Amino acid sequence: MFQPLWQALPKSWYRTAKLNLLANPHSLPNQNCIEAAADHDKLTSLEAVSICMDTIENLLIDDNDTLPALEPIAMVALDAGRMLMESGASACAIDELVSKVARGLGAERVDLRVGYASLAITIGIGESGITRMREVGHLGVNQRLDQEIWHLAWRISRHELDTEQAREELGRLAAKTPRHSSLVMAVAVGLACAAFGRLLKVDWLGTGPVFLAATVGQYARRDLITRHVNGYICATIISFLSSLLAGLGAHWAGSTEIKTAMVASILLLVPGVPSINAQSDILDGHPTLGSARAVSVAVTLIFVAAGLWLGQVALEKSVGI
């Protein structure tokens, strides 16, 4: 019965206990036994306590040398989850990736809480465990970075990288993952909105203005985001700008579908990925996060509608439509 008990305790516990006993050996309940052992071996009680604790300590494996540090593992896993969430991932995907990274770095237990603006993780090895939290930034969409993070997670799960190497690789991905230029993105968004305009029965005379208005709107939107303008205010400004430009352009071009062209030009502001994530999070058992995403989507649509209404009022005032 005695051997399994003392082997279950970590070596660091014996070091602390030895210091406490040496400071106050008379606090032991079996003080008489220690004094008897000390008298038998011609030792003082302090020497008997020290020798006893040293003997047990030397028989144990040094837990500090065999267990990986929990703090670096928790922070690397949180950084990976944060980057994935900011790239547009759902709660289930974030949970799976964080668990894969933490376990690949040596954690035995991983529990993650995914919030709308923060991530909290609890990891454990043996009887040790810590809880850490990380703030999440702007939730955008970056599929290329999403894929790169997953590739890194698979490498970590195969134990190809240690904690420090994983941290460096995450930093490299955040800094050097290639992105399309603002101009390329603006033109691509303009073409997409023009195509949607055709699906909405906008005539060819109104398609050109939709393309130009959406291109300008996307370029201005990217600039406002880099200036850290509030996302809802940004949605209102871009909705007003794009709808007004599309309406004016369609009117001057002689289109008969002016209002439809105005609507088509602001389709770039529809939060498609957040809407899908909101539904999947609720269905996958994350109702709090899913509800927060759904509320954000609803508020965004309200601000977009306000910008469209302002654009229609400005168009009526300017050309009398």
> Could you tell me the pTM of the whole model?
0.72
How far does the chain reach from its first CA to its final CA, in angstroms? 92
- Tell me, what's the pLDDT at 43? 46
pLDDT at position 153: 94
Domain boundaries, the chain: 2-65, 70-176, 182-319
CA-only gyration radius of the chain, Å = 31
The answer to whether the CB of 152 falls within 8 A of the CB of 100 is no
Measured in whole angstroms, how far is the alpha carbon of residue 236 from the centre of its chain?
27
Alpha carbon separation from 6 to 59, 66, 149 (Å, rounded) = 10, 18, 43
pLDDT at 23: 54
Per-residue pLDDT of the chain (321 residues; tens, 9 = 90+): 444 444 444 545 445 555 555 555 555 444 444 444 444 444 455 555 555 555 554 544 444 444 568 899 999 999 999 999 999 999 999 999 999 999 999 889 999 999 999 999 999 988 888 999 999 988 888 889 999 999 999 999 999 998 999 999 999 998 888 888 889 999 999 999 999 999 999 999 999 999 999 999 999 999 998 898 999 999 999 999 999 999 999 999 988 899 999 999 999 999 999 999 999 999 988 999 999 999 999 999 999 999 999 999 999 888 876
Find the length of the chain: 321
pLDDT at 69: 83
- Alpha-carbon separation of residue 201 from 48, 243, 259, 265, 285 (angstroms): 94, 17, 11, 13, 40
Q: What is the pLDDT of residue 321?
A: 65
The 3-class secondary structure across the chain, one letter per residue, is: CHHHHHHHCCHHHHHHHHHHHHHCHHHCCCHHHHHHHHHHCCCCHHHHHHHHHHHHHHHCCCHHHHCCCHHHHHHHHHHHHHHHHHCCCCHHHHHHHHHHHHHHCCCCEEEEEECCCEEEEEEEECCEEEEEEEECCCCCCCHHHHHHHHHHHHHHHCCCCCHHHHHHHHHHHHHHCCCCCHHHHHHHHHHHHHHHHHHCCCCHHHHHHHHHHHHHHHHHHHHHHHCCCCHHHHHHHHHHHHHHHHHHHHHHHCCCCHHHHHHHCCHHHCCHHHHHHHHHHHHCCCHHHHHHHHHHHHHHHHHHHHHHHHHHHHHHHHHCC
Q: What is the pLDDT of residue 58?
A: 52
- In 3D space, the residue among 207, 191, 196, 218 whose CA is nearest the CA of residue 246 turns out to be 207
